[in-house]
Structure 1
Amino acid sequence: MWKTSFVVLQLLLLGSSVSFIVVDGLRRDEYPPHFVFGASTSAYQVEGAADEDGRKPSIWDSFAHAGNANMYEGNGDIACDQYHKYKEDVELMAKMGLDAYRFSISWSRLIPDGKGPINQKGLQYYNNLINELISHGIQPHVTLYHWDLPQTLEDEYGGWINQKIVRDFTAYADVCFREFGDRVKHWTTVNEGNVFAQGGYDIGFLPPQHCSSPSIFNCSKGNSSTEPYLVTHNMLLAHASAARLYRNKYQDKQHGFIGFNLLTYGFVPLTNTSEDIIAAQRAQDFFLGWYLNPLIFGDYPEIMKKNVGSRLPTFTKSESNLLKGSMGFLGINFYFSFYVKDNPKTLNIKDRDYLADMAVELTAYTTNDTATEEFPIVPWTLQGLVDSLKNIYGDFPIYIHENGMQTHRNSSLEDWKRVNYLNEYIGSVLDMLRNGHDIRGYFVWSFMDVFELLGGFETTYGLYYIDLKDPTLRRQPKLSSLWYSNFLNNRTMDPMVAIQMEKNSPLLINNNNKNNSLLRNAI
């Protein structure tokens, strides 16, 4: 496993305290010149201004205001208020040294009813944000759909379970390509389509909270046996339709790229038995092949056809041809891995859902030093996944769109474990590049603490801490932001090179915690 070390020094000067962070070993200039480093967010999680300037509710607004499936409290009405503070945020990105910022467009801010008139205030906001990024030398990487379908379309015809969505999504994409495509070169149609279909239409812990009864999430509607497959089918067709539109109408002038994004995992057989080895491949087919097989080969994996049967929609020949080659790059989000055990008994369940169709048991992959709320640092599982994708689907461009570690909101700003996590995974990307993989960029999730879908404001991934008790929502750099900035600015050649933190800024969220200190031994 790729390893490197980093050293921290704290200097006490007369009259003031100034802290420094230095890194030894990992160098930005070891990566190809075209390789981009960035950070990610999404519209509902950062923008706020939920009912301002013509924006209308999305299914995520409705989900949050209905109680987030009783998992946590809060909503994105204000979030990080990036709608009003985008200039401040872009300045922080520039000072950090980001090459790119990945964000999403709120469909219901740009086209409030999902179709029809454009909201000029929403159009102006995204033009302003994109222009601000470019003026600071930062590439905008734009996601068209990050789980926030306009509520109007959900109410009118059921949203993603209805094939009418293909037409409306394509029209929405057309507006975005036309209005922003002269400056945006990297488009992702859908974020984590696989998780949106599973969580929103099978299990019911994501918007729009569809699932069959009985369920611990008390869904008011849905059919877990069929809807995940319908939603995926329509997302794939919507992506392919938007990609064809871009190729035919815009690409010759705009020279951009259209990709799709999936949440990925490493799948590790629980034992070395043939049953568990085959089960691990089956899990990958259900989680990833579900999308990649149609996008590369034009049809679903054979094991899905066998296990799902007539509940799995079919593609016409023209749809299959439309899908093949429609993915200019794959965006992968990666956080952790699973042990996989064969479990054929679930195939005997009446009215099986997506998870039962997979016929496996999944257990979170952990290590001896993994704390309860932390992700294990196992970059070799990411490397194994990327190797597997290349072996099955061939060579295609990849962007690591999200990678990061969660902590509790009340943790210290000295997020050493996040620094270690990022250091290991960024280092593993260099190994993958040297092994011939076509990886084009790496984005940290997230640029700042956002309204997290699985934890609201209770869990955080940000490089910047957002003080929710401060009316200005002050952004405070964490240790990880300083480490990332140091790396991005090539201040890693000499272990004594340092960057200065904001003078007299508090290092801790809880300043009474005497166990937190920057003065630590080198890792």
Structure 2
Amino acid sequence: MPGFSRRQFAKILGWTTLGLSGATGARGADAPADRRREITGAPPGFPDGFLWGTATSSYQIEGAVNEDGRGPSIWDLFARKPGAISDWSTGEVACDHYHRYREDVQLMKALGAKTYRFSIAWPRVFPDGTGTPNPKGLDFYDRLLDELLAGGIEPFATLYHWDLPQALQTRFGGWTSRDTSKAFADYSAYVAGRLSDRVKHFFTINECSRTVSLGHQYGSDAPGLKLPQAEVNQVRHHIALGHGLAVQAIRAQARAGTKVGPAENAVSCIPAIDTPANVRAAEIAMRELNAGYLTVMMEGKYTDAYLAQAGNDAPKFTPDDLRIISSPVDFVGLNIYMPDHYVVAADNGRGFTLAPFPASFPHMDAPWLRFGPETMYWTPRHVAKLWNVKSIYITENGTSGTDQVAADGGISDLDRVMYLRNYLAQLQRATSEGVPVHGYFLWSLLDNFEWSDGFEKRFGLYRVDFDTQRRTPKLSASFYRETIARNAVV
């Protein structure tokens, strides 16, 4: 390119009417937001008060599995099974967050994050799942909450992120039994009663869909079961029941103003082409393909098509179960990573057909993680419209990457920056159209123990050296910090 001065280059591109401001010029970050949007054609930034944060879970980062009276979880036992974890690692140490939480809170502050979604380890609080709580069970979370609030970071707590006390798996068969649903409600009531002086938002159960399918159908997650379809459907029902019982328990025990809702990896259904017929077909598909959990939670009934398709394998339930499951929630949390289906309208009785994914469909470092940013627009839009939801949080979104460390120690994770830029642009599109998304939690703050992938898949904004526990910011941390500061994707 010829050696134009900055002012000459601006004039060539027609920017001179904006004026120039110092070294950066009004074309850049100093330009008024409305004028930047006029130039770029970008939608407005995120709403005032939009909450930016990061997300983690207890077993994936805490470590300290044998400290301060914590009991074993189903993941402690599962991770020790030969071949269960791809790199033979466990969460026994993970990111050592249990001892390094103060350092990690400072990492959140460095991003400018104003919220943090974390999970509470049930076996720390009730080592046997039920009975007498461990006196030291919530001490760690007390310390963490105080540190967060001192740093101006609002805590959002998840009550169940898959680390079921092994005692409940042994005694009741875990989620195959209604007794576990009741035990979860008792645990939730205790935690909410203790922590709702500082935690104002509780998520009940994280990703029912995954813990059912991978943990109880395919055996690739804890507790490693491969159940017949009827039992899989019953497990899903018991988890939904546990959610509803927990909502009721939290409302009974928490302080006034405490809010509660689920965090679900809903089956996402995207119109293959944005025609009115395909959009409507995608809405129908979204309701039907989430019938076993999110739909029954929001409507208080299983759809006729779900029960008909299940046939003799349909879950056993009572009308009272459905009333409990559909206890009103204050918000819906959505974990959004990829499109599950692209939908085309069809005259086939269902009103839709699912287009097959071609082999060439793009994906990220993890083979399962298809790259489809538009799911960040359509999924919350569908949820808001189908069930008149007034408050939505994106409780997880992010990608793994190869994250090569350069000679100078830097990590230029351009793949993650590309992923986040595109997904957040679609979320910005949704909020600009009035879809009521009120916050976003990026998965994840840290590289961590990524379940059956062990330490091989890295999702963090900060790289963790699992030998030294050193945290190093990646380029994506700078991108996210800038997004938070601007409250917009530019």
Would the TM-score normalized by the shorter structure come out above 0.5? yes
1:369 deviates by: 8.3
Q: Out of 386-395 and 186-195, give the one that drifted further.
A: 386-395
Conserved in 1, the CA contact under 8 Å of 2:188 and 2:246?
yes
Q: Report the counterpart of residue 257 of structure 1 in structure 2.
A: 259
Conserved in 2, the CA contact under 8 Å of 1:409 and 1:457?
no
Q: Report the counterpart of residue 167 of structure 1 in structure 2.
A: 182
- Determine helix, strand or coil for the equivalent of 1:143: strand
Conserved in 2, the CA contact under 8 Å of 1:28 and 1:488?
no
Q: Report the counterpart of residue 295 of structure 1 in structure 2.
A: 297
1:467 deviates by: 0.9
Normalised by the length of structure 1, the TM-score is 0.77
1:319-468 map, 5 Å = 319-339=321-341, 363=357, 367=361, 373=367, 375-408=369-402, 410=404, 413-468=411-466
1:4-43 map, 5 Å = 30-43=45-58
- Determine helix, strand or coil for the equivalent of 1:60: helix
What CA distance in whole angstroms lies between the structure 2 residues aligned with 1:278 and 1:489? 36
Residues 409 and 30 of structure 1, relative CA distance in 2, 3 Å threshold: closer
What CA distance in whole angstroms lies between the structure 2 residues aligned with 1:183 and 1:72? 38
Q: Report the counterpart of residue 481 of structure 2 in structure 1.
A: 485
Residues 364 and 106 of structure 1, relative CA distance in 2, 3 Å threshold: farther
Conserved in 2, the CA contact under 8 Å of 1:185 and 1:254?
no
Normalised by the length of structure 2, the TM-score is 0.82
Which of 311, 314, 322 pairs up with 1:309?
Answer: 311
Which of 73, 77, 93 pairs up with 1:62?
Answer: 77
1:133 deviates by: 0.5
1:267 deviates by: 3.0
Q: Which runs of 5+ in 1 are unaligned?
A: 1-22, 212-222, 343-358, 496-523
What CA distance in whole angstroms lies between the structure 2 residues aligned with 1:391 and 1:303? 20
What CA distance in whole angstroms lies between the structure 2 residues aligned with 1:307 and 1:286? 11
What CA distance in whole angstroms lies between the structure 2 residues aligned with 1:372 and 1:194? 19
1:170 deviates by: 1.0
Q: Alpha-carbon deviations, 1:480-516, whole Å to 9, x = none? A: 01111122233989x9xxxxxxxxxxxxxxxxxxxxx
What CA distance in whole angstroms lies between the structure 1 residues aligned with 2:335 and 2:359? 17
Alignment partner of 1:224 is 2:228: yes
Residues 480 and 437 of structure 1, relative CA distance in 2, 3 Å threshold: same
Conserved in 2, the CA contact under 8 Å of 1:107 and 1:148?
yes
Q: Report the counterpart of residue 4 of structure 1 in structure 2.
A: none
Alignment partner of 1:142 is 2:157: yes
- Determine helix, strand or coil for the equivalent of 1:120: coil
1:183 deviates by: 0.5
Structure 1 or 2: more strand by fraction? 1
1:80 deviates by: 0.1
What CA distance in whole angstroms lies between the structure 2 residues aligned with 1:54 and 1:368? 46
Conserved in 2, the CA contact under 8 Å of 1:262 and 1:288?
no
Q: Out of 379-388 and 191-200, give the one that drifted further.
A: 379-388
Q: Report the counterpart of residue 62 of structure 2 in structure 1.
A: 47
- Determine helix, strand or coil for the equivalent of 1:386: helix
- Determine helix, strand or coil for the equivalent of 1:443: strand
Residues 121 and 39 of structure 1, relative CA distance in 2, 3 Å threshold: same
Q: Alpha-carbon deviations, 1:440-461, whole Å to 9, x = none? A: 1111100010100241101111
Aligned residues: 440
Q: Which residue type is aligned with residue 149 of structure 1?
A: L
Higher relative contact order, structure no. (Cα contacts within 8 Å, ≥ 6 residues apart): 1
Q: Which runs of 5+ in 2 are unaligned?
A: 1-27, 30-35, 345-352
Residues 197 and 437 of structure 1, relative CA distance in 2, 3 Å threshold: same
Q: Which residue type is aligned with residue 189 of structure 2?
A: D
1:227 deviates by: 2.3
Q: Report the counterpart of residue 19 of structure 2 in structure 1.
A: none
Q: Alpha-carbon deviations, 1:371-409, whole Å to 9, x = none? A: 784845432233222333233222331110111111136
Conserved in 2, the CA contact under 8 Å of 1:340 and 1:360?
yes
What CA distance in whole angstroms lies between the structure 1 residues aligned with 2:244 and 2:224? 26
Conserved in 2, the CA contact under 8 Å of 1:334 and 1:400?
yes
Q: Which residue type is aligned with residue 383 of structure 1?
A: Y
Q: Report the counterpart of residue 247 of structure 2 in structure 1.
A: 243
1:287 deviates by: 4.4
Q: Which residue type is aligned with residue 437 of structure 1?
A: V
Q: Report the counterpart of residue 195 of structure 1 in structure 2.
A: 210
